Amino acid sequence: MDLIRRSQAGDERAFAELFEQYKNLVYKTAYLMLGEPQEAEDALQEVFLRVHRSLNSFRPSKGAFSTWLHRITVNYCINQTRKRRLRFLPITQVHPEQMPSQPSPESRLGEEDSVAQAMRDLSSRLRAVVVLRYYWDMSYAEIAQTLGIPLGTVKSRLNAALSALRVELEPSASVHLPDKEVVK
């Protein structure tokens, strides 16, 4: 906490230490959300720029610094994913003859790769709760505080995410989706 107070007071050395201490939190979250090392690097720079700019608006009484940092990181990643959705391809790139061929059985994805691929097919909001829960081991209450959403929404998003992942990983599985939230 002393590090944060010193950083808020404009101590650059303290901010460097803060970066060192929390860079993995931001980078790993961004990497798991965005899936590309270069995009995770960009996220690390952008998130810490935002932190530097708005550090004085951080109030320790309202939650842990890591919660605040996770929130900024996840919001940045969700925004990036939105932008990505609007990326256009030149028309020649979508001609059928230029489409990549189906992978052969020999080049099938390994188990962990197939999970990573299935994760990428989730919406960014669902991916966020999965990363916070199953990588960072946050409780549902911590996830709710980090994302600023109700506890019930955390439950329904995790349920939707796991059900969607199950369908993706076991195509024969028929899963009932009980919640009303948009899954993808």
Partner 1 sequence: MNCQETTAMMVAYLDQELSPSERKMVAAHLAECDSCRRELAALSAVQGRVRRSLHQQAVEAVPASDAWVRLQATLAAARPAYPARIAAGLQSIVLSIRTMFLGGTLMRRFVLVSLVTLALVGGVVITVPSVRAQVREMIDTWFHFQLPGGRSGVGIGFGGARQAFTPYLPTWLPEGLDLGLNGGSTMPGAEYVEFEFHPMPRRKGDDRFIRLVEGKGEAVPGLPEGREVMVHGQRAVFTSELSDRHEIQVDPPTPAGARLLAWYMDEIKIELVSNLPESDMIAVAESLVPMEEGIGQP
- Among positions 131-160, residues that touch partner 1 (CB under 8 A) are 131, 133-135, 139-140, 147-149, 155, 158-159
Q: Is residue 25 near partner 1 by the rule CB under 8 A? A: no
Q: Which stretch binds partner 1 (CB under 8 A): 53-61, 87-95, 96-104?
A: 53-61
Look up tokens 């992978």; give the residue: 103
Nearest to 19 by CA among 56, 52, 41, 43: 52
Question: Torsions phi, psi of 143, nearest 5?
Answer: -65, -45
Other CB atoms within a 10 A radius of the CB of residue 148 amount to 8
Residue 115 engages partner 1 in binding (rule: CB under 8 A): yes
Residue of 4, 6, 39, 46 interacting with partner 1 (CB under 8 A) = 46
- State whether residue 9 is helix, strand or coil: coil
Is residue 180 near partner 1 by the rule CB under 8 A? Answer: no
Which of helix, strand or coil describes residue 109? coil
Among 39, 123, 153, 179, binds partner 1 (CB under 8 A): 179
**Closest by alpha carbon to 47, among 20, 81, 71, 83?**
71
Q: Are 58 and 65 spatial neighbours (Cβ–Cβ below 8 Å)?
A: yes
Contact residues toward partner 1 (CB under 8 A) are 9-10, 16, 19-20, 23-24, 27-28, 31-32, 37, 40-41, 44-46, 48-50, 52-54, 56-59, 62, 68, 71-72, 75-76, 78-79, 82-83, 111-112, 115-116, 119, 130-131, 133-135, 139-140, 147-149, 155, 158-159, 162-163, 165-166, 169-170, 173, 176, 178-179
